[in-house]
Amino acid sequence: MKMKSSEEIYISPNHLAQLQTKYMPGNKYSFNSSTPRTRLERLLRERELRKFNQSFHLSNEARDGNVEGDPSGSDSPNEGDNFGIQNEEEFPEGFTEGRTTSKQRLLVVANRLPVSAVRKGEDLWQLEISVGGLVSALLGVKEFEARWIGWAGVNVPDEIGQKALTKALAEKRCIPVFLDEEIVHQYYNGYCNNILWPLFHYLGLPQEDRLATTRSFQSQFDAYKKANQMFADVVNKHYQNGDVVWCHDYHLMFLPKCLKEYNIEMKVGWFLHTPFPSSEIHRTLPSRSELLRSVLAADLVGFHTYDYARHFVSACTRILGLEGTPEGVEDQGKLTRVAAFPIGIDSDRFVRALELPQVQNHITELKERFAGRKVMLGVDRLDMIKGIPQKILAFENFLEENPNWRDKVVLLQIAVPTRTDVPEYQKLTSQVHEIVGRINGRFGTLTTVPIHHLDRSLDFHALCALYAVTDVALITSLRDGMNLVSYEFVACQASKKGVLILSESAAQSLGAGAILVNPWNITEVAASIGYALNMPADEREKRHWHNFMHVITHTSQEWAMTFVSELNDTIFEAELRTRQVPPLLPTKDAIERYLQSNNRLLILGFNSTLTEPVDNIPGRRGGQIKEMELKLHPGLMEPLKNLCDDPKTTVIVISGSDRGILDDNFSEYNMWLAAENGMFLRLTTGEWMTTMPDNLNMDWVDSVKHVFEYFTERTPRSHFELRETSLVWNYKYADIEFGRLQARDMLQHLWTGPISNASVDVVQGGRSVEVRAVGVTKGAAIDRILGEIVHNRGMKAPIDYVLCIGHFLGKDEDIYTFFEPELPSEPAAAARTKVVEPVKTSSTKVSTSKSGSKASRSKKHQALSTLEKRTCNSGSASGSCWRPTVRENTSLHEGSSVLDLKSDNYFSCAVGRKRSKARYLLGSLEDVVTLLKDLAEFSRPC
């Protein structure tokens, strides 16, 4: 069947599997299953789908005779008017996994629209297409229906003008964001260009403007946030379910956060087109944390190179204290994927342009003009980061050392003016002109000069011709996001096969075929110029072939499709992870069940559950000391007192902290305190007692202590805690990467030395290493704790309501599963047996008799004597040694036997930890405060 050229074919992944089996039997990525099993399989299938659709589309065009049409192709006057959109009809909302004949909508959000608007009357606008790198990247991408959202570059204060411009832009699939002059001045000229751009390019702030910039920083940042919110308002207005929102560049770093606040389900990607600096540079930015967290709201964050992606992840770990992984940045179970996506060019456009008559005429003129001389070319914006002065000085050095080349080579430098009203750029222009004049005066003649310098841009056809006649391209950027001039040069070198000298700081992927140089090393660049000019033809051809294959395969269209494909897959992966995340606590239901119960048990963690947040400290100064001195949250003092005074409610605070910390914070409350993961217990009106198993062996303590002391001395800002049943080394405030290396080294040393034969557990936290005796967990201790409570209070009614809240380590989350009630179909006795399984597993040698054997009592007293000795040696505030009370008459099952807990009356909640064994999730410490306040309010006597 012959198809019209305007028709498009889309193959769904399900049909692709059948086509691959039939037409591509040898393809190793031809999966038989319609559902790929892994992320890599999904991406490979997506890649095969794109290739198959492209080849099918091209073969269809060839049959219709379109390939041999006008060679100008996309260079026609109407090029890009619809930005790759083939029809004007509206597409259905949403987008399915199967990718049927409907297109997914792509909302491209950038600071500037790809058109420039000129007002011709009150309600008349003239639009001029400005095809740039981002526009050409999306030309030819036919899998998506692209719409552009951005600023039109003009101030339109009146409503009539705004409506007319909106209508005119709608024909180009563009949607305007209207910014007034003050916002533009503070947001674009101020914060973006005066602060972010220099910082991201390692330039810092201009010296003479530093004081003024610092004074106006807050107003510029406020304008930046306001402008980003205005972009978000427009996006949200036009967003439809299933759309992909793609935010671009440093102008819109706040946008992902604003969009997610509108709709958490929105698919949001963010891409940076400039370098991202190292964490040491980024930390100098006053708003560093806010910007990083805003970007992390996106689902996928993209950079041109792996180096920039690595810098971003490093900034998030070092500044925000988050977990960096090979896939991105993880924050409490939420993963933001971070990856490198090197952009390319529309290489076909340049290849086709070489055949145009006007380009051939330009080539002929240039060959005649520079006959007998080698042509070197530089095309740059006249900017500090482009290294134009360094390039020209290197060329001067080459001419000095190679006098035989002085009349045989010419350097053509195209310097496109930019920001001509900024003093620093004016100084740069004068400096470049002075150097060029001096070199031409020194090495030039009456008829020739070694440098031709142009302070202007060239049209597309003239630029292609210049690329085609060039023998050596000199790209010496000092710091660049992705310099695409080198790609354009390679695309136009089919016949000449010129040499590319490329800065190693230009973020390029053409290293295989280019001569890489340090742009600051003028001597090295000069030597590379000589090597390039004298390079044999066969080596030039090999280098060009490497470069050319990279350029034609890594196109701008492939870049765009790869990014959106990865974004879609990132959303799919996030949905899989979300299924494993506990739901938010149904607060209303928890309170209602609380009121209906007769004997309630509240088990609360302490650290990060009831503590005062360290982030409340102004400027984060002294945070380490503040966190080491754990204090009860001020907002919980009164609610906790009301809960503890309720005769129907028993409150237990269980913590890994030692007894002294719990005494300092809770001695005034009528509650139970369980220190060191439940190994020590007391009612606040009584004495401390131990709940430790009989077989607890602590002989390993001293040797582990020596190891912890060693690593504390060699890891700045780390510290360790010596507890009665465990030792904890904490490196939260140390350098994150160094701390991880030290922790890894410590673990290797522990396992091969002090604890190689000891009965201990090593528990790794986010920034800590804890060594504790086997069986010391909150879940293992809770049954014995309940037994003590029952014995002390003489409970007559069974416990019919349990609320367990904490930010526990994974090792201690067995406390959540301990209270899981029996299923309705199970007998009560069987259920109770199931409940105490964690205790049986970790304490298999604990006597279940009321008196216990003589041997078991001997072992327990031996372990306690070791603890007493260590406590006395370390000293205490009172100068006396604490001796725990030992109870021998608590049965193993005594605690669990008083539970009469129905499933609807059990609420286990993890605080801020999205991957948990708990039933429910409380987002933050403030949610805990709110919940306990509500419970306390209902606990008041009427």
pLDDT of residue 55: 60
pLDDT of residue 39: 62
Q: Which two tokens stand for residue 38?
A: 């892994």
- Going by C-alpha positions, the residue among 342, 349, 351, 347 that lies closest to residue 506 is 342
- Going by C-alpha positions, the residue among 605, 381, 352, 392 that lies closest to residue 494 is 352
Q: Which two tokens stand for residue 28?
A: 């190793």
Beta-bridge partners for 654: 674
Q: In sequence order, which ranges of 8-94 are alpha helices (DSSP H)?
A: 13-23, 39-64
Q: Is 352 helix (H, G, I), strand (E, B) or coil?
A: helix
- Going by C-alpha positions, the residue among 49, 54, 62, 83 that lies closest to residue 5 is 62
pLDDT of residue 366: 94
Per-residue 3-state assignment (H helix, E strand, C coil) for 662-676: HHHHHCCCCCEEEEC
Q: In sequence order, which ranges of 470-586 are alpha helices (DSSP H)?
A: 485-491, 522-533, 537-553, 556-578
Q: Is 713 helix (H, G, I), strand (E, B) or coil?
A: helix
Beta-bridge partners for 515: 501
Query: Which position has the token pair 């430790």?
Result: 692
pLDDT of residue 725: 83
Interhelix angle for 288-296 vs 306-319, to 10°? 120
**Which residues in 273-333 belong to E strands, given as ranges?**
300-303, 323-325, 328-331
Backbone angles phi, psi at 775, to 5 degrees: 95, -5
Cβ contacts of 920 within 8 Å, gap of 6 or more: 582, 583, 584, 585, 586, 907, 908, 909, 910
Integer Cα distance of 566 and 561 in angstroms: 8
Average pLDDT per 10 consecutive residues for the chain, totaling 942 residues = 41 44 39 56 69 57 41 32 32 34 83 88 83 65 84 90 92 92 91 91 66 71 96 96 94 96 94 92 91 96 92 92 87 87 89 94 94 94 91 96 94 90 87 95 91 92 95 92 88 92 79 88 96 95 92 88 89 75 89 90 90 58 62 90 90 90 91 89 88 76 90 91 88 86 90 81 86 83 83 77 89 84 37 31 30 35 38 40 40 58 89 82 89 85 56
Q: How far is CA 756 from CA 267, 287, 684, 693, 706, in A?
A: 49, 47, 39, 22, 15
Query: Which position has the token pair 């990247």?
Result: 137
> Starting from the edge strand earliest in sequence, which strands make up the sheet with 760-764, in order?
719-722, 726-730, 768-773, 760-764
Q: Which two tokens stand for residue 661?
A: 């910390």
Strand pairing class (649-654; 374-381): unpaired
Integer Cα distance of 45 and 768 in angstroms: 41
Q: Which two tokens stand for residue 53?
A: 């659709």
Q: What is the pLDDT of residues 401-457, one digit of tens each?
A: 999 999 999 999 999 988 887 788 899 999 999 999 999 999 998 888 999 999 998
Beta-bridge partners for 116: 128
- Going by C-alpha positions, the residue among 466, 455, 448 that lies closest to residue 375 is 466
Q: Which two tokens stand for residue 444?
A: 């030039």
Q: Which amino acid does the sequence have at 904?
A: D
Chain center to CA of 317? 10
CA-based Rg of the chain, rounded to a whole angstrom? 35
Integer Cα distance of 635 and 360 in angstroms: 78
- Going by C-alpha positions, the residue among 111, 309, 316 that lies closest to residue 224 is 111
Contact (CB, 8 A) for 601 and 650: yes
- Going by C-alpha positions, the residue among 682, 769, 647 that lies closest to residue 718 is 769
For residue 555, the 8-state DSSP code is: -
Q: How far is CA 250 from CA 110, 247, 292, in A?
A: 10, 9, 11
Q: What is the pTM of this model?
A: 0.74
Query: Which position has the token pair 């006057």?
Result: 77
Integer Cα distance of 346 and 136 in angstroms: 6
Helix%, strand%, coil% for the chain, nearest 5: 45, 15, 40
pLDDT of residue 821: 59
Question: CA 156, 137, 73: angle at the middle one, nearest 5?
Answer: 100
